[in-house]
Amino acid sequence: MNKLILISLVLFLTPTFAAEPTSLQELLEQVKEDRAQEKEQLAIREMKFKKARHKQKQILNAALKKLEADEKRSESLRKSYASYDQTIARQNIVLKEKMGALGELDGIVKQIAGDLDVIIDTSIVSAQKPDRDKILDILSSRKELPSLQELEELWILAMDEMVESGKVVTFKGKIITAAGNEVEQEVTRIGVFNAVSNGQFLRNLPETGKLIEPGRQPGDRFRNMAQDLENATSGIHAFPIDPTRGAMLALLVQKPNMKERIVQGGLIGYVIIIVGFIGVLISLERLIVLVLTGRKVKKQLKSRKPGDNPLGRIMQVYEANPDVGTETLGLKLDEAILKEMPRIQRGLGALALLAAISPLLGLLGTVTGIIETFQSITLYGTGDPRTMSGGISQALVTTVMGLLVAIPLLLFHSFLSSKSNTLVQILDEKSTAFVALLAEINRLRNNA
Protein backbone atom coordinates (compact mmCIF):
# COMPACT_ATOMS: atom_id res chain seq x y z
CA MET A 1 0.00 0.00 0.00
CA ASN A 2 2.80 2.40 0.97
CA LYS A 3 4.62 1.50 -2.20
CA LEU A 4 1.60 2.33 -4.29
CA ILE A 5 1.26 5.78 -2.60
CA LEU A 6 4.94 6.50 -3.08
CA ILE A 7 4.81 5.47 -6.72
CA SER A 8 1.73 7.64 -7.27
CA LEU A 9 3.48 10.64 -5.61
CA VAL A 10 6.55 10.15 -7.71
CA LEU A 11 4.48 9.91 -10.85
CA PHE A 12 2.64 13.12 -9.88
CA LEU A 13 5.86 15.06 -9.18
CA THR A 14 7.61 13.73 -12.21
CA PRO A 15 7.30 16.01 -15.31
CA THR A 16 5.17 14.64 -18.06
CA PHE A 17 7.97 14.98 -20.55
CA ALA A 18 10.37 12.73 -18.44
CA ALA A 19 10.92 9.23 -19.63
CA GLU A 20 8.89 6.61 -17.95
CA PRO A 21 11.02 4.50 -15.49
CA THR A 22 11.20 0.92 -16.40
CA SER A 23 12.30 -0.38 -13.03
CA LEU A 24 12.23 0.52 -9.41
CA GLN A 25 15.91 1.33 -9.49
CA GLU A 26 15.40 3.87 -12.25
CA LEU A 27 12.42 5.26 -10.41
CA LEU A 28 14.51 5.72 -7.29
CA GLU A 29 17.29 7.38 -9.20
CA GLN A 30 14.86 9.69 -10.87
CA VAL A 31 13.23 10.62 -7.53
CA LYS A 32 16.65 11.37 -6.01
CA GLU A 33 17.59 13.48 -8.97
CA ASP A 34 14.30 15.41 -8.79
CA ARG A 35 14.73 15.90 -5.07
CA ALA A 36 18.20 17.29 -5.56
CA GLN A 37 16.94 19.72 -8.18
CA GLU A 38 14.10 20.71 -5.92
CA LYS A 39 16.46 21.37 -3.01
CA GLU A 40 18.64 23.44 -5.27
CA GLN A 41 15.61 25.49 -6.41
CA LEU A 42 14.38 25.90 -2.84
CA ALA A 43 17.81 27.10 -1.81
CA ILE A 44 17.85 29.63 -4.60
CA ARG A 45 14.36 30.84 -3.68
CA GLU A 46 15.32 31.04 0.03
CA MET A 47 18.37 33.07 -0.88
CA LYS A 48 16.27 35.46 -2.98
CA PHE A 49 13.73 35.78 -0.17
CA LYS A 50 16.44 36.56 2.38
CA LYS A 51 17.89 39.16 0.09
CA ALA A 52 14.43 40.65 -0.50
CA ARG A 53 13.69 40.67 3.23
CA HIS A 54 16.94 42.47 3.91
CA LYS A 55 16.12 45.00 1.24
CA GLN A 56 12.61 45.51 2.60
CA LYS A 57 14.09 46.03 6.03
CA GLN A 58 16.40 48.67 4.62
CA ILE A 59 13.48 50.35 2.86
CA LEU A 60 11.45 50.20 6.09
CA ASN A 61 14.29 51.69 8.07
CA ALA A 62 14.70 54.42 5.47
CA ALA A 63 10.94 55.10 5.56
CA LEU A 64 10.98 55.27 9.35
CA LYS A 65 13.88 57.66 9.27
CA LYS A 66 12.10 59.80 6.68
CA LEU A 67 8.91 59.71 8.74
CA GLU A 68 10.83 60.81 11.81
CA ALA A 69 12.46 63.62 9.81
CA ASP A 70 9.12 64.69 8.36
CA GLU A 71 7.54 64.70 11.81
CA LYS A 72 10.39 66.87 13.10
CA ARG A 73 10.02 69.16 10.07
CA SER A 74 6.24 69.26 10.53
CA GLU A 75 6.68 70.22 14.17
CA SER A 76 9.14 72.90 13.13
CA LEU A 77 6.75 74.20 10.47
CA ARG A 78 3.90 74.17 12.97
CA LYS A 79 5.94 76.27 15.36
CA SER A 80 6.97 78.58 12.49
CA TYR A 81 3.33 78.92 11.35
CA ALA A 82 2.23 79.80 14.87
CA SER A 83 5.04 82.32 15.08
CA TYR A 84 4.20 83.80 11.69
CA ASP A 85 0.50 83.92 12.60
CA GLN A 86 1.30 85.94 15.68
CA THR A 87 3.58 88.18 13.62
CA ILE A 88 0.84 88.72 11.02
CA ALA A 89 -1.66 89.63 13.74
CA ARG A 90 0.80 92.15 15.18
CA GLN A 91 1.51 93.55 11.73
CA ASN A 92 -2.23 93.84 10.99
CA ILE A 93 -2.64 95.90 14.12
CA VAL A 94 0.23 98.13 13.04
CA LEU A 95 -1.23 98.29 9.51
CA LYS A 96 -4.64 99.35 10.80
CA GLU A 97 -3.04 102.02 12.95
CA LYS A 98 -1.01 103.35 10.04
CA MET A 99 -3.88 102.96 7.55
CA GLY A 100 -6.29 105.09 9.57
CA ALA A 101 -5.40 108.37 7.84
CA LEU A 102 -5.06 106.70 4.44
CA GLY A 103 -8.45 105.00 4.80
CA GLU A 104 -10.05 108.34 5.62
CA LEU A 105 -8.28 109.85 2.62
CA ASP A 106 -9.60 107.06 0.40
CA GLY A 107 -13.17 107.75 1.56
CA ILE A 108 -12.79 111.47 0.93
CA VAL A 109 -11.33 110.83 -2.52
CA LYS A 110 -14.22 108.52 -3.44
CA GLN A 111 -16.77 111.06 -2.22
CA ILE A 112 -15.13 113.91 -4.13
CA ALA A 113 -14.83 111.75 -7.24
CA GLY A 114 -18.52 110.80 -7.05
CA ASP A 115 -19.67 114.41 -6.56
CA LEU A 116 -17.40 115.69 -9.32
CA ASP A 117 -18.58 112.90 -11.63
CA VAL A 118 -22.16 114.15 -11.34
CA ILE A 119 -21.03 117.71 -12.10
CA ILE A 120 -18.93 116.63 -15.08
CA ASP A 121 -21.70 114.45 -16.54
CA THR A 122 -24.20 117.33 -16.49
CA SER A 123 -21.73 120.03 -17.54
CA ILE A 124 -21.94 121.67 -20.96
CA VAL A 125 -18.15 121.50 -21.09
CA SER A 126 -18.46 117.72 -21.55
CA ALA A 127 -20.10 118.36 -24.92
CA GLN A 128 -16.88 120.07 -25.96
CA LYS A 129 -14.53 117.65 -24.15
CA PRO A 130 -16.12 114.18 -24.12
CA ASP A 131 -14.79 111.17 -22.16
CA ARG A 132 -12.89 113.28 -19.65
CA ASP A 133 -14.41 111.63 -16.58
CA LYS A 134 -12.88 108.16 -16.93
CA ILE A 135 -10.61 108.72 -13.95
CA LEU A 136 -13.66 109.65 -11.85
CA ASP A 137 -15.40 106.37 -12.67
CA ILE A 138 -12.25 104.49 -11.62
CA LEU A 139 -11.71 106.36 -8.36
CA SER A 140 -15.35 106.24 -7.27
CA SER A 141 -15.68 102.45 -7.69
CA ARG A 142 -12.21 100.97 -7.03
CA LYS A 143 -11.32 99.52 -3.63
CA GLU A 144 -7.56 100.12 -3.82
CA LEU A 145 -5.98 103.33 -2.64
CA PRO A 146 -5.50 105.92 -5.40
CA SER A 147 -2.00 106.60 -6.63
CA LEU A 148 -0.36 110.00 -6.58
CA GLN A 149 -0.79 110.33 -10.33
CA GLU A 150 -4.52 109.60 -10.06
CA LEU A 151 -4.91 112.20 -7.32
CA GLU A 152 -3.17 114.73 -9.57
CA GLU A 153 -5.52 113.87 -12.44
CA LEU A 154 -8.51 114.38 -10.11
CA TRP A 155 -7.18 117.77 -9.03
CA ILE A 156 -6.44 118.82 -12.62
CA LEU A 157 -9.96 117.82 -13.73
CA ALA A 158 -11.57 119.87 -10.94
CA MET A 159 -9.38 122.85 -11.80
CA ASP A 160 -10.22 122.48 -15.50
CA GLU A 161 -13.95 122.58 -14.75
CA MET A 162 -13.50 125.74 -12.65
CA VAL A 163 -11.42 127.45 -15.33
CA GLU A 164 -13.84 126.52 -18.12
CA SER A 165 -16.76 127.96 -16.12
CA GLY A 166 -15.34 131.45 -16.71
CA LYS A 167 -14.69 131.15 -20.47
CA VAL A 168 -16.70 132.00 -23.55
CA VAL A 169 -15.59 129.45 -26.16
CA THR A 170 -16.63 128.66 -29.74
CA PHE A 171 -16.15 125.09 -30.95
CA LYS A 172 -17.46 122.59 -33.48
CA GLY A 173 -20.08 120.32 -31.94
CA LYS A 174 -22.85 117.93 -32.86
CA ILE A 175 -26.35 119.33 -32.39
CA ILE A 176 -29.75 117.65 -32.54
CA THR A 177 -32.10 120.19 -34.07
CA ALA A 178 -35.75 120.68 -33.16
CA ALA A 179 -36.65 118.66 -36.26
CA GLY A 180 -34.63 115.69 -34.96
CA ASN A 181 -31.71 115.99 -37.40
CA GLU A 182 -28.13 115.67 -36.17
CA VAL A 183 -25.84 118.35 -37.60
CA GLU A 184 -22.37 119.61 -36.83
CA GLN A 185 -21.96 123.35 -36.52
CA GLU A 186 -20.29 126.03 -34.46
CA VAL A 187 -21.43 126.29 -30.85
CA THR A 188 -20.71 129.15 -28.48
CA ARG A 189 -20.42 128.04 -24.87
CA ILE A 190 -20.86 130.62 -22.11
CA GLY A 191 -19.08 129.08 -19.13
CA VAL A 192 -20.99 126.11 -17.80
CA PHE A 193 -24.33 127.91 -17.99
CA ASN A 194 -25.50 128.28 -21.59
CA ALA A 195 -24.71 127.15 -25.11
CA VAL A 196 -26.04 128.84 -28.25
CA SER A 197 -25.76 128.22 -31.97
CA ASN A 198 -27.12 130.40 -34.78
CA GLY A 199 -29.03 132.45 -32.24
CA GLN A 200 -30.75 129.39 -30.76
CA PHE A 201 -30.32 128.29 -27.15
CA LEU A 202 -29.18 124.69 -26.63
CA ARG A 203 -29.61 122.12 -23.88
CA ASN A 204 -27.07 119.50 -22.84
CA LEU A 205 -28.11 115.82 -22.86
CA PRO A 206 -25.85 114.03 -20.35
CA GLU A 207 -27.04 110.61 -21.57
CA THR A 208 -25.67 111.14 -25.08
CA GLY A 209 -23.13 113.91 -24.52
CA LYS A 210 -24.76 115.96 -27.29
CA LEU A 211 -26.50 119.31 -27.42
CA ILE A 212 -30.18 119.54 -28.35
CA GLU A 213 -32.17 122.48 -29.65
CA PRO A 214 -35.39 122.80 -27.60
CA GLY A 215 -38.66 122.99 -29.45
CA ARG A 216 -39.47 126.27 -27.72
CA GLN A 217 -36.99 129.12 -27.40
CA PRO A 218 -36.89 132.19 -25.11
CA GLY A 219 -38.14 135.55 -26.33
CA ASP A 220 -36.74 137.42 -29.31
CA ARG A 221 -34.84 139.77 -27.01
CA PHE A 222 -32.80 136.92 -25.58
CA ARG A 223 -32.21 135.31 -28.97
CA ASN A 224 -30.96 138.64 -30.31
CA MET A 225 -28.52 138.79 -27.40
CA ALA A 226 -27.30 135.30 -28.29
CA GLN A 227 -26.85 136.30 -31.94
CA ASP A 228 -24.91 139.43 -30.96
CA LEU A 229 -22.64 137.40 -28.71
CA GLU A 230 -21.91 134.89 -31.47
CA ASN A 231 -21.06 137.63 -33.94
CA ALA A 232 -18.88 139.55 -31.49
CA THR A 233 -15.10 139.24 -31.46
CA SER A 234 -14.32 141.31 -28.36
CA GLY A 235 -15.85 143.61 -25.79
CA ILE A 236 -18.59 143.21 -23.18
CA HIS A 237 -22.04 142.07 -24.26
CA ALA A 238 -25.28 141.54 -22.35
CA PHE A 239 -26.40 137.92 -22.19
CA PRO A 240 -28.95 136.00 -20.09
CA ILE A 241 -27.36 133.39 -17.82
CA ASP A 242 -29.13 130.19 -16.82
CA PRO A 243 -27.73 129.37 -13.35
CA THR A 244 -29.61 126.04 -13.35
CA ARG A 245 -27.47 124.78 -16.27
CA GLY A 246 -30.38 124.04 -18.58
CA ALA A 247 -33.17 123.30 -16.10
CA MET A 248 -34.91 126.60 -16.89
CA LEU A 249 -34.84 125.80 -20.61
CA ALA A 250 -36.36 122.40 -19.85
CA LEU A 251 -39.14 124.09 -17.89
CA LEU A 252 -39.62 126.54 -20.75
CA VAL A 253 -40.34 123.64 -23.09
CA GLN A 254 -43.06 122.41 -20.73
CA LYS A 255 -44.57 125.86 -20.27
CA PRO A 256 -47.76 126.16 -22.37
CA ASN A 257 -48.07 129.04 -24.81
CA MET A 258 -51.10 131.28 -25.32
CA LYS A 259 -52.83 128.87 -27.67
CA GLU A 260 -52.40 125.97 -25.25
CA ARG A 261 -53.72 128.13 -22.41
CA ILE A 262 -56.84 128.90 -24.40
CA VAL A 263 -57.33 125.20 -25.13
CA GLN A 264 -57.03 124.46 -21.41
CA GLY A 265 -59.91 126.85 -20.76
CA GLY A 266 -62.28 124.61 -22.70
CA LEU A 267 -65.68 125.72 -24.00
CA ILE A 268 -66.15 128.36 -21.31
CA GLY A 269 -62.76 129.83 -22.22
CA TYR A 270 -63.86 130.24 -25.84
CA VAL A 271 -67.10 131.92 -24.67
CA ILE A 272 -65.09 134.37 -22.55
CA ILE A 273 -62.90 135.18 -25.55
CA ILE A 274 -65.95 135.82 -27.72
CA VAL A 275 -67.42 138.09 -25.02
CA GLY A 276 -64.14 139.97 -24.80
CA PHE A 277 -63.93 140.31 -28.58
CA ILE A 278 -67.46 141.73 -28.77
CA GLY A 279 -66.71 144.11 -25.91
CA VAL A 280 -63.53 145.35 -27.63
CA LEU A 281 -65.45 145.94 -30.88
CA ILE A 282 -68.12 147.92 -29.03
CA SER A 283 -65.47 149.89 -27.17
CA LEU A 284 -63.58 150.76 -30.34
CA GLU A 285 -66.76 151.77 -32.15
CA ARG A 286 -67.89 153.96 -29.24
CA LEU A 287 -64.44 155.45 -28.85
CA ILE A 288 -64.30 156.46 -32.51
CA VAL A 289 -67.85 157.86 -32.47
CA LEU A 290 -67.38 159.82 -29.23
CA VAL A 291 -64.01 161.23 -30.30
CA LEU A 292 -65.42 162.41 -33.63
CA THR A 293 -68.55 163.74 -31.94
CA GLY A 294 -66.45 165.54 -29.35
CA ARG A 295 -64.39 167.22 -32.06
CA LYS A 296 -67.56 168.33 -33.88
CA VAL A 297 -69.05 169.70 -30.64
CA LYS A 298 -65.85 171.64 -29.83
CA LYS A 299 -65.83 173.01 -33.35
CA GLN A 300 -69.52 173.95 -32.99
CA LEU A 301 -68.76 175.88 -29.80
CA LYS A 302 -66.66 178.28 -31.88
CA SER A 303 -69.27 178.67 -34.63
CA ARG A 304 -72.72 180.35 -34.59
CA LYS A 305 -73.95 178.34 -37.59
CA PRO A 306 -75.62 175.04 -36.59
CA GLY A 307 -73.93 171.95 -37.97
CA ASP A 308 -74.62 168.21 -38.15
CA ASN A 309 -73.75 167.40 -34.56
CA PRO A 310 -75.63 167.16 -31.24
CA LEU A 311 -74.89 170.77 -30.27
CA GLY A 312 -75.81 172.00 -33.75
CA ARG A 313 -79.15 170.24 -33.54
CA ILE A 314 -79.78 171.87 -30.13
CA MET A 315 -79.02 175.25 -31.70
CA GLN A 316 -81.44 174.49 -34.51
CA VAL A 317 -84.21 173.90 -31.94
CA TYR A 318 -83.38 177.25 -30.33
CA GLU A 319 -83.36 179.12 -33.63
CA ALA A 320 -86.59 177.42 -34.76
CA ASN A 321 -88.53 178.73 -31.72
CA PRO A 322 -87.67 182.43 -31.29
CA ASP A 323 -91.14 183.51 -30.09
CA VAL A 324 -91.93 180.84 -27.51
CA GLY A 325 -91.64 181.31 -23.82
CA THR A 326 -88.62 180.29 -21.80
CA GLU A 327 -90.45 177.45 -20.17
CA THR A 328 -91.58 176.05 -23.52
CA LEU A 329 -88.09 176.48 -25.00
CA GLY A 330 -86.62 174.68 -22.01
CA LEU A 331 -88.92 171.75 -22.56
CA LYS A 332 -88.16 171.64 -26.27
CA LEU A 333 -84.41 171.74 -25.57
CA ASP A 334 -84.75 168.97 -22.98
CA GLU A 335 -86.60 166.92 -25.57
CA ALA A 336 -83.79 167.51 -28.08
CA ILE A 337 -81.18 166.51 -25.50
CA LEU A 338 -83.10 163.33 -24.68
CA LYS A 339 -83.07 162.50 -28.38
CA GLU A 340 -79.29 162.97 -28.54
CA MET A 341 -78.46 160.96 -25.41
CA PRO A 342 -79.24 157.49 -26.88
CA ARG A 343 -76.85 158.25 -29.73
CA ILE A 344 -74.15 159.40 -27.34
CA GLN A 345 -74.61 156.63 -24.74
CA ARG A 346 -75.40 153.81 -27.16
CA GLY A 347 -73.52 150.55 -26.37
CA LEU A 348 -72.36 151.62 -22.92
CA GLY A 349 -74.97 149.46 -21.21
CA ALA A 350 -73.99 146.43 -23.28
CA LEU A 351 -70.32 147.10 -22.49
CA ALA A 352 -71.11 147.23 -18.77
CA LEU A 353 -73.08 144.00 -19.08
CA LEU A 354 -70.20 142.22 -20.87
CA ALA A 355 -67.76 143.47 -18.22
CA ALA A 356 -70.02 141.99 -15.52
CA ILE A 357 -70.58 138.70 -17.36
CA SER A 358 -66.88 137.95 -17.95
CA PRO A 359 -65.85 137.28 -14.31
CA LEU A 360 -69.06 135.30 -13.81
CA LEU A 361 -68.11 133.10 -16.76
CA GLY A 362 -64.65 132.73 -15.23
CA LEU A 363 -66.25 131.67 -11.96
CA LEU A 364 -68.43 129.20 -13.87
CA GLY A 365 -65.30 127.73 -15.48
CA THR A 366 -63.65 127.50 -12.06
CA VAL A 367 -66.59 125.57 -10.62
CA THR A 368 -66.72 123.31 -13.69
CA GLY A 369 -62.98 122.62 -13.44
CA ILE A 370 -63.23 121.79 -9.73
CA ILE A 371 -66.11 119.41 -10.45
CA GLU A 372 -64.03 117.70 -13.13
CA THR A 373 -61.12 117.45 -10.71
CA PHE A 374 -63.23 115.75 -8.05
CA GLN A 375 -64.61 113.36 -10.64
CA SER A 376 -61.04 112.41 -11.59
CA ILE A 377 -60.18 111.88 -7.93
CA THR A 378 -63.25 109.68 -7.53
CA LEU A 379 -62.36 107.55 -10.55
CA TYR A 380 -58.55 107.36 -10.35
CA GLY A 381 -57.63 108.50 -6.84
CA THR A 382 -54.88 110.96 -5.98
CA GLY A 383 -51.94 108.76 -6.97
CA ASP A 384 -51.28 110.46 -10.31
CA PRO A 385 -51.49 114.29 -10.24
CA ARG A 386 -51.75 114.38 -14.03
CA THR A 387 -55.30 113.01 -13.86
CA MET A 388 -56.32 116.13 -11.95
CA SER A 389 -54.33 118.63 -13.98
CA GLY A 390 -57.01 119.08 -16.65
CA GLY A 391 -59.70 120.23 -14.24
CA ILE A 392 -57.32 122.39 -12.23
CA SER A 393 -56.01 124.02 -15.43
CA GLN A 394 -59.53 124.81 -16.59
CA ALA A 395 -60.45 126.22 -13.18
CA LEU A 396 -57.45 128.54 -13.04
CA VAL A 397 -57.32 129.49 -16.72
CA THR A 398 -60.99 130.46 -16.99
CA THR A 399 -60.72 132.59 -13.86
CA VAL A 400 -57.74 134.42 -15.31
CA MET A 401 -59.40 134.80 -18.69
CA GLY A 402 -62.57 136.19 -17.11
CA LEU A 403 -60.59 138.78 -15.16
CA LEU A 404 -58.42 139.67 -18.17
CA VAL A 405 -61.57 140.38 -20.18
CA ALA A 406 -63.52 142.13 -17.42
CA ILE A 407 -60.82 144.56 -16.27
CA PRO A 408 -60.18 146.17 -19.70
CA LEU A 409 -63.91 146.31 -20.44
CA LEU A 410 -64.52 148.06 -17.14
CA LEU A 411 -61.79 150.56 -17.93
CA PHE A 412 -63.22 151.13 -21.41
CA HIS A 413 -66.71 151.56 -19.95
CA SER A 414 -65.51 154.07 -17.40
CA PHE A 415 -63.54 156.04 -19.98
CA LEU A 416 -66.35 156.06 -22.56
CA SER A 417 -68.96 156.92 -19.93
CA SER A 418 -66.85 159.88 -18.89
CA LYS A 419 -66.61 161.13 -22.47
CA SER A 420 -70.35 160.67 -23.10
CA ASN A 421 -71.20 162.42 -19.83
CA THR A 422 -68.94 165.29 -20.86
CA LEU A 423 -70.84 165.68 -24.12
CA VAL A 424 -74.21 165.51 -22.35
CA GLN A 425 -72.98 168.07 -19.86
CA ILE A 426 -72.01 170.44 -22.71
CA LEU A 427 -75.47 170.02 -24.22
CA ASP A 428 -77.11 170.74 -20.85
CA GLU A 429 -74.97 173.82 -20.35
CA LYS A 430 -75.75 175.18 -23.81
CA SER A 431 -79.43 174.36 -23.37
CA THR A 432 -79.52 176.35 -20.13
CA ALA A 433 -77.59 179.14 -21.84
CA PHE A 434 -80.13 179.29 -24.67
CA VAL A 435 -83.04 179.49 -22.19
CA ALA A 436 -81.27 182.28 -20.29
CA LEU A 437 -80.57 184.11 -23.55
CA LEU A 438 -84.25 183.87 -24.56
CA ALA A 439 -85.31 185.15 -21.15
CA GLU A 440 -82.96 188.12 -21.52
CA ILE A 441 -84.34 188.86 -24.99
CA ASN A 442 -87.91 188.70 -23.75
CA ARG A 443 -87.09 191.01 -20.85
CA LEU A 444 -85.60 193.58 -23.22
CA ARG A 445 -88.65 193.34 -25.45
CA ASN A 446 -90.99 193.92 -22.54
CA ASN A 447 -88.99 196.92 -21.38
CA ALA A 448 -89.02 198.37 -24.87
pLDDT number for residue 152: 83
> In 201-347, which ranges are continuous DSSP H helix?
220-231, 247-254, 258-301, 310-320, 326-345
pLDDT number for residue 343: 83
pLDDT number for residue 281: 92
Question: Which residues, other chains included, contact 203 with Cβ-Cβ below 8 Å and sequence gap of 6+?
Answer: 211, 212, 213, 214, 246, 249, 250
pLDDT of residue 367 exceeding 60, the answer is: yes
Q: Which residues pair with 169 in a beta bridge?
A: 189
pLDDT of residue 13 exceeding 60, the answer is: no
pLDDT digits (tens, 9 = 90+) for 278-324: 999 999 998 888 888 888 888 878 777 777 777 778 888 777 777 77
Contact 127, 204 (CB under 8 A): yes
Half-sphere exposure of 100 (CA within 13 A, CB side): 4
Rounded-to-integer distance, Cα 78 and Cα 86, Å? 12
Amino acid identity at 138: I
Contact 126, 206 (CB under 8 A): yes
Kindly report the pTM of this predicted structure: 0.51
Percent of the chain with pLDDT over 70: 85
pLDDT of residue 125 exceeding 60, the answer is: yes
Going from the C-alpha of 240 to that of each of 202, 221, 222, the distances in angstroms are: 13, 10, 7
* Mean pLDDT to the nearest integer, 170-177: 83
- Of residues 93 and 249, the one with the higher pLDDT is 93
pLDDT of residue 102 exceeding 70, the answer is: no
User: What value does the mean pLDDT of the chain take?
Assistant: 78
**CA 367: distance to chain centroid?**
33
Rounded-to-integer distance, Cα 422 and Cα 420, Å? 5
pLDDT number for residue 278: 92
pLDDT digits (tens, 9 = 90+) for 142-171: 777 777 787 888 888 888 888 888 888 888
